[in-house]
Amino acid sequence: MVCLLGLALRRLCCGLASKSLVEICLMHPLDVVKTRFQIQRGNSDPNSYKNLTDCFRTIFRNEGISGFYKGILPPIVAETPKRAVKFFTFEQYKKALSLTPLSAGVALSVAGLGAGLTEAVVVNPFEVVKVSLQANRDAFKEQPSSFAQARRIINADGFGLRGLNKGLTSTLGRHGVFNMIYFGFYFNVKDAIPTSPDPTLEFMRKFAIGLVSGTISSCVNIPFDVAKSRIQGPQPVPGEIKYRTCFQSMTLVYREEGYLALYKGLVPKIMRLGPGGAVMLLVYEYVSGWLQKNW
């Protein structure tokens, strides 16, 4: 039984990882564009992107099609442990919180928050390498590899909060807030809306709730995402650290560029995480339901 359960869990993780690998390859260009907008300070720079179309056009013209895939290796490498940690810890936190006086709805949101915070610790070093590569506007062939970039960061600043783990507080905020809303909204709304006996309509019901869940989560957590990109990306003056911590960076962006700057990159983020989040929840729910039924 233990062996069968282990095999089932491995199949669940492999299924989620395979789906996520396809998602990364298809959606990574949107992530590159999102990062470029988030590290862009105002529109006074003549090299700034005017809008989404201009960003795509400029990257393609100056960096080629491969420019849209800068920094793709770190998320690919991190995907399996990231998804395994997210869904495994969500289930564990949910079980632990079922023993508390919290209502079911609140417990799901708190479990999502805990899963997001745990996931952030695992994924942050990969995010540091990814953002530093995505921010590089050189031709793809002139860019260092992911491993060379990681070594460069470690040699210069070590593994701590100024090196391979810089921006950790922002990553904790980004993943914690996202997953708190993502899981809490999806499961609470799904239980509140009557199910449909038609399998197609039932699938569409869950997909629509997942889509809204991913979209709302992206809208709420994007200020943390902007702060993370500013901390992990290139600083305005080389050698001087302007963006240091999560809320200090948010305050600085708001003061210098206005509150709308805290929502830079929102459109490509929603385009990626809205449908992506819906599919991820559906895969997780159907596969885990099948595993519970058969094991």
**Mean of the per-residue pLDDT values for the chain?**
89
Please tell me which residue, 23 or 12, carries the higher pLDDT value.
23
Residue 107 contacts residue 100 (beta carbons within 8 Å): yes
**pLDDT, average across residues 69-83:** 90
Highest mean pLDDT among 14-18, 205-209, 290-294: 205-209
pLDDT per position as a tens digit, 181-226: 999 999 999 989 999 899 899 999 999 999 999 999 999 999 999 9
pLDDT per position as a tens digit, 20-35: 677 788 899 999 999 9
| Assigned token pair, 173 | 């905020």
As a whole number of angstroms, the distance between CA 164 and CA 150 comes to: 7
pLDDT at residue number 255: 96
- Between the two ends of the chain, the Cα-to-Cα distance in Å is 8
| Assigned token pair, 143 | 């860019």
As a whole number of angstroms, the distance between CA 230 and CA 252 comes to: 10
| Geometric angle at alpha carbon 113, from 112 and 115, rounded to 5° | 65
pLDDT at residue number 99: 87
The fraction of the chain above a pLDDT of 90, given in percent, is 68
Residue 236 contacts residue 242 (beta carbons within 8 Å): yes
Which residues form the domain of 90? 2-294
**pLDDT, average across residues 128-133:** 97
Please tell me which residue, 116 or 143, carries the higher pLDDT value.
116
Residue among 278, 265, 98, 97 at smallest CA distance from 182: 278
Total domains, the chain: 1
As a whole number of angstroms, the distance between CA 60 and CA 68 comes to: 8
**pLDDT, average across residues 77-91:** 88
Q: Is the dihedral of CA 41, 45, 47, 49 positive or negative?
A: positive
pLDDT at residue number 4: 47
CATH code: domain of residue 88: 1.50.40.10
Which range is least confidently modeled, 35-49, 138-152, 253-267?
35-49
Assign 15 a pLDDT band (cuts: 50, 70, 90): low
**Helix intervals (H) in 145-241:** 146-157, 168-192, 199-232
Residue 119 contacts residue 86 (beta carbons within 8 Å): yes
59, amino acid identity: I
285, amino acid identity: E
| Assigned token pair, 186 | 């999806």
Residue 67 contacts residue 60 (beta carbons within 8 Å): yes
Residue among 73, 72, 70 at smallest CA distance from 36: 70
Spatial CB neighbours of 217, under 8 Å, sequence gap ≥ 6:
177, 178, 179, 181, 182, 185, 273, 277
| Assigned token pair, 161 | 């909060």
Question: How does DSSP classify residue 144?
Answer: P
As a whole number of angstroms, the distance between CA 72 and CA 29 comes to: 9
**pLDDT, average across residues 253-270:** 96
**pLDDT, average across residues 224-246:** 94
Q: How far does Cα 212 stand from its chain's mean position?
A: 16
**pLDDT, average across residues 33-62:** 89
pLDDT at 239 over 60: yes
As a whole number of angstroms, the distance between CA 204 and CA 52 comes to: 29
pLDDT at 19 over 80: no
Assign 293 a pLDDT band (cuts: 50, 70, 90): confident
| Assigned token pair, 48 | 């700034």
